[in-house]
């Protein structure tokens, strides 16, 4: 009996090339999209924003991050 070759891992898992490329792009964009967040308070300080501007940015960022979770939970 002839031994059949095992299918590639991509076929076994159901992933084709387009899906893998899409997953990599989403990962890179998601990782790169949040890199600037750590430096924005320092940038606001350099631009002359006071303590209240930096604190307001941090509070607004945290508030919006919490509020954005609700629509995702309802869907």
d(CA 70, CA 64): 10
pTM (predicted TM-score): 0.55
Predicted pLDDT of residue 18: 87
Predicted pLDDT of residue 53: 94
pLDDT at 33 over 80: no
The more confidently predicted of residues 30 and 24 is: 24
The more confidently predicted of residues 11 and 65 is: 65
């Amino acid at each position: 009996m002839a031994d059949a070759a095992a299918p590639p891992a991509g076929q076994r898992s159901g992933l084709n090339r387009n899906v893998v490329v899409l997953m990599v792009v989403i990962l890179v964009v998601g990782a790169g999209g949040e890199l600037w967040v750590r430096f924005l308070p320092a940038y606001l300080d350099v631009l002359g924003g006071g303590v209240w501007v930096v604190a307001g940015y941090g509070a607004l960022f945290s508030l919006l991050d919490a509020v954005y979770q609700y629509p995702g939970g309802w869907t």
